[in-house]
Chain A
Amino acid sequence: MFGPGDPATLSGVHSGITRRGLLRAVAATASLAGVSAAAGCDLFGGSGDDQENATPEMRDLLAGTAALAAAYEGAIDRVPSLTGRLTGPRDAHRAHVEALAQALGLPVPQGSGSGSGPSDSAGALSALAELESDGVEAARQACLTGPSRLASLVGTIAAARACHLEILR
């Protein structure tokens, strides 16, 4: 089912092979990132013509990301018992706002207020899950239709939002 199943045998096999690191295949990520940097894009997809990236779709994505951060902030204010569970996703959305603003050459949006929402735990989690679900699709579409230089950043944001849904369950 899982291939070789004897841990002792596997251990022996692995200890004898150091040149072909498991992380080597995956580590090509680092070298590819170097290629991107050499091509003139920084890690967040920015370059000298950032304003060209600031399409209406990307501006909407930035505004939506700021709104997600604010929604988490509001939920934490209304339901403090969820603080530990929601802090990570909230901070992730804040990081996404910073990264997107940088990539688009736009100022970081100011807080839009935490708004209103459920004051019970189940209701708050459900409301956030609905927002995240919509957010995954928004980022997904932006990644698929947006410029190549932003695809990595926006795709990563979509993935982070999908992960948040796992935390909210």
Chain B
Amino acid sequence: MSVDALRTALQAEHAAIYGYGAVGAHLTGDLREVARQAENAHRNRRDEVALRVEAGGGGFVAAQPAYALPFEVTDARSAMALAVRLEEGSAGAWREVLSATDGDDRRLALDALIACAVMATRWRKAGQIEPLTLPFPGGV
């Protein structure tokens, strides 16, 4: 069950990394740098989770060649809205891992949930997207 949960979270990380390609393409300056750092955080997490999945017998989880975006990204505003969706989606995936894991895997999931939720809030602040935070990041 633990490996299955991690596989699902890994797929979410793949999707987030892909989505940040569209986010970064529509941002400039400091915001583009924030996007780059956020993307790198997902890449680092993806690599760590991939190793755990393989070590746990879950095999290799490949990224899809492409992912359909939930809406068209045409400017900085829509790019930041997408970034919020990416982070909240990842947070939701990691939230589900918590109850299926313990020990180091739960710690990884918790740190990931917190990191994604905080990043979503930062994008909401930057894009002036209300509400700035949710009572239950990642859903209930």
Contact = CB atoms under 8 A, between A and B. Distances in A.
User: What's the dominant secondary structure at chain B's contact region?
Assistant: helix
B25 A29 contact: no
A14 B69 contact: yes
A29 B133 contact: no
Contacts of B136: 95, 99, 156-157, 160
A26 interface: yes
Which of A21, A33, A166 has its CB near the most chain B CB atoms (within 10 A)? Answer: A166
Contacts of A41: 99
A17 B66 contact: yes
A10 B133 contact: no
B133 A92 contact: yes
A156 B90 CA distance: 13
B93 A26 contact: yes
Contact of A1 (B5, B36, B68, B70): B36
Contacts of B113: 155-156, 158-159
Interface in B81-140: 85-86, 89-93, 95-96, 98-102, 106-107, 109-110, 113-114, 116-118, 120-122, 125, 131-140
Interface string A139-169: 0100110001101110111111011111100
Contacts of B20: 2-3
Nearest to B10: A25
Given A26-B15, A28-B12, A148 B133 contact: no
Interface in A1-34: 1-7, 10-11, 13-15, 17-18, 20-29, 32-33
B130 to A, nearest CB: 9
Contacts of B26: 7
B138 to A, nearest CB: 6
Contacts of B139: 29, 33
B32 to A, nearest CB: 8
B73 interface: yes
Nearest to A11: B72
A152 B47 CA distance: 23
A153 to B, nearest CB: 7
A51 interface: no
A17 B67 contact: yes
B98 A155 contact: yes
Interface of B: 5, 8, 11-12, 14-15, 17-26, 35-36, 39, 64-70, 72-74, 85-86, 89-93, 95-96, 98-102, 106-107, 109-110, 113-114, 116-118, 120-122, 125, 131-140
Given A21-B67, A32-B96, 7 more contacts: A7-B22, A10-B73, A22-B15, A25-B64, A25-B67, A152-B99, A155-B113
Interface of A: 1-7, 10-11, 13-15, 17-18, 20-29, 32-33, 36, 41, 43-45, 88-89, 91-92, 95-96, 99, 136, 140, 143-144, 148-149, 151-153, 155-160, 162-167
